[in-house]
Amino acid sequence: MSTKPDSPNTSHSTAPLTLHEVEQAAKARLPAHIYEFYASGSDQQNALIRNEKAFDRLCIRPRVLIDVSEVDTTTTLFGWKTALPIGIAPSAMQRLAGGEGELDIATAAATLRLNMTLSSQSTTSLEDVAATRTQVQGGDIPPPPFWMQIYLYEDVQKSVKLIRRAEAAGYQALVLTVDTPVLGNRLAERRTAVVLPEGMTLPNLDSSPTPTPAPNQETNPQPQPQPSINRQLMNARTSAEARALRSAAGSRMHSSSLTWTTTLPFLRRITNMKIILKGVMTPEDASLAVRHGVDGIIVSNHGGRQLDATCATLEALPEIVDAVGGAIPVILDGGVRSGTDVFKALAIGADFVLVGRPALWGLAVQGREGVAGVMHILERELSRTMALAGVRSVGEIGRERLGVLRRDGFGVCRL
pLDDT (average), residues 327-333:
98
CA dihedral 324, 328, 333, 337 (to 10 degrees): 100
What's the whole-number average pLDDT of the chain? 88
Find out whether 182 and 280 touch, Cβ atoms under 8 Å.
no
Residues at the binding site for FMN are 90-92, 119, 149, 177, 278, 300, 333-337, 356-357
pLDDT (average), residues 228-238:
68
Integer Rg of the chain from CA: 22
pLDDT (average), residues 182-206:
85
State how far the Cα of 309 lies from the Cα of 340, in Å rounded to an integer: 26
Model pLDDT for residues 146-159, shown as the tens digit of each residue: 999 999 988 888 89
pLDDT (average), residues 250-257:
70
pLDDT attached to residue 252: 61
Whether pLDDT at 85 is above 60: yes
Whether pLDDT at 245 is above 70: no
Whether pLDDT at 321 is above 60: yes
pLDDT attached to residue 215: 39
pLDDT (average), residues 53-65:
96
Residue 125's contacts (CB-CB under 8 Å, 6 or more residues apart) are 203, 204
Whether pLDDT at 184 is above 70: yes
CA nearest neighbour of 40 among 365, 360, 357, 375: 357
Whether pLDDT at 408 is above 50: yes
How many residues does this entry show for the chain? Answer: 415
* Catalytically annotated residue among 12, 33, 302, 376: 302
pLDDT (average), residues 126-136:
90
CA nearest neighbour of 295 among 180, 397, 176, 178: 176
Angle at the Cα of 398 from the Cα atoms of 396 and 403, rounded to 5 degrees: 135
Class of domain 19-197+227-407 (CATH, top level): alpha beta
Whether pLDDT at 5 is above 90: no
Residue 191's contacts (CB-CB under 8 Å, 6 or more residues apart) are none
pLDDT (average), residues 387-412:
92
Q: What is the pTM of this model?
A: 0.89
pLDDT (average), residues 118-135:
94
pLDDT attached to residue 228: 66
Whether pLDDT at 224 is above 60: no
State how far the Cα of 266 lies from the Cα of 7, in Å rounded to an integer: 48
Whether pLDDT at 264 is above 80: yes
pLDDT attached to residue 356: 97
The mean-pLDDT minimum among 102-111, 142-151, 183-192, 342-351 falls in: 183-192
Whether pLDDT at 397 is above 80: yes
221: pLDDT confidence band, cut at 50, 70 and 90? very low
The answer to whether 12 is a known catalytic residue is no
Whether pLDDT at 386 is above 50: yes
Say whether 39 sits in a helix, a strand or coil: helix
Residues at the binding site are 90-92, 119, 149, 151, 177, 186, 278, 300, 302, 305, 333-337, 356-357
Residues at the binding site for glyoxylate are 151, 186, 302, 305
The secondary structure of residue 303, as a DSSP letter, is G
> Which of 213-217, 239-243, 357-361, 406-410 ranks highest by mean pLDDT?
357-361
Domain boundary assignment for the chain = 19-197+227-407
Model pLDDT for residues 267-295, shown as the tens digit of each residue: 999 999 999 999 999 999 999 999 999 99
